[in-house]
Structure 1
Amino acid sequence: MQCKAGKPIGLIEVRRRPGKPTEGLMTVGPLVVRCALGRTGTSMLKREGDGATPIGDLRLLHGYFRADRSPSGPPGSRFRLAPIDARDGWCDAPGDRNYNRPVRLPYPTSHERMARQDRLYDVCMVSDWNMRPAIRNRGSAIFFHIARPGFPPTEGCIAVAPLAMARILPLIGPRTRIRIHR
């Protein structure tokens, strides 16, 4: 399903919650929603495995959804959302030629499985962090996805509640940037 009505929001802003470096407040036009950030907070010097959400502007490129958990099809979005299947993965091995790229499983080096048992990637939007070109050890798989209940920290991604994601997706488009503040 594609959402075409109205102009998409150009900028999403994420600010850390006072006293809670692993949580943020995300402003999407008129909406302000709680979000989970990396387990070590935010960082201007993002490194692979440091658990930090990178400070700066990220552009959302495309997304994935769990078709097996979405009987009515993909959620309403201006993005192309591809269904996730059991063979989808994301390479997080800095020395691999497919570092910070989607891969097909089984894959011989370190990777993340996209078809997770939890619901984190029921909707998963891919950001352009460290994509063109992918620089070794600068961080991989910085996604905008569903948060765990209670908003525990992520490994560096930005995560929101399922209802918030459903409200945000129709408001954003391929030119939308997410600005993560200090």
Structure 2
Amino acid sequence: MVVTRWGARFAGRRFPVAIGRAGMTNDKREGDGATPLGVWRMMCGGYRADRRAAPGAPFAMRPVRAGDLWSDDPGAPAYNHAVRAPYGPSHERLRRGDGLYDVVIVTDWNWPGAAPGKGSAIFVHCWRGPRRPTAGCLAFRPDHLDWILARWTPRSRIILRQP
């Protein structure tokens, strides 16, 4: 999949995509709102089993439960990893009320070997709408994300580049 600021191409189709509110960057920093340029893999993910069936994917997809969190504190030992509540350091809730993480995919950006401050929670997930920015993730219309996941293979990659 090739992604630019204006869209994504995968398996012969074009998809609108939302990126970080600060655009794309070669120098990702925690909290900068930018989507990091580079080549990523989708590694594993989760879905809201109370809202939808598990999407087809060539990697593990597990139900997101209450108390599932993602550490975004660069000073924490679990930085850029899944954690469970209660968790004191800064974190993001994976079970959201707004539907953004009804499907949420962990990428290999700064994961699993996380360099502190180089960006956390760079996911692929459902969007708020066209051209509605993320905090640094890639976001797709839910049906488009399902279509992509159904055709993704272990050899597939996300290639983020400037147009």
What range is the shorter-chain TM-score in? over 0.9
Which segments of 5 or more consecutive residues in structure 2 lack a partner in the other structure?
A: none
Q: CA deviation at 1:106?
A: 1.7
Aligned residue for 1:174, secondary structure, equals coil
How far apart in 1 are the matches of 2:116 and 2:100? 25
Q: CA deviation at 1:174?
A: 3.0
Which segments of 5 or more consecutive residues in structure 1 lack a partner in the other structure?
A: 1-11, 18-24
Q: Supply the RMSD in Å over aligned alpha carbons.
A: 1.0
Matched, 1:66 2:55: no
How far apart in 2 are the matches of 1:173 and 1:116? 28
- 2:11 match: 29
Deviations 1:9-55 (A, max 9, x none): xxx100122xxxxxxx1101111000000010000000000000000
How far apart in 2 are the matches of 1:91 and 1:174? 26
Deviations 1:62-116 (A, max 9, x none): 111000101xx31222221010001100000000000000000121000000000
Deviations 1:111-132 (A, max 9, x none): 0000000111111110001114
Q: How many residues align?
A: 162
TM-score (norm 2): 0.96
How far apart in 2 are the matches of 1:40 and 1:156? 8
Matched, 1:136 2:116: yes
Q: Which runs of 4+ in 1 moved over 4 A?
A: none
How far apart in 2 are the matches of 1:78 and 1:132? 18
Q: Flag the structure with larger Rg.
A: 1
Q: Which has the higher strand share?
A: 1
How far apart in 2 are the matches of 1:160 and 1:119? 12
How far apart in 1 are the matches of 2:38 and 2:28? 10
Amino acid at match of 2:5: R
- 1:81 match: 61
Matched, 1:165 2:154: no
Q: CA deviation at 1:163?
A: 1.3
- 2:37 match: 55
TM-score (norm 1): 0.86
CA contact (8 A) 2:3 2:9 kept: yes
Q: CA deviation at 1:150?
A: 3.7
CA contact (8 A) 1:60 1:175 kept: no
How far apart in 1 are the matches of 2:9 and 2:149? 13
How far apart in 2 are the matches of 1:56 and 1:120? 23
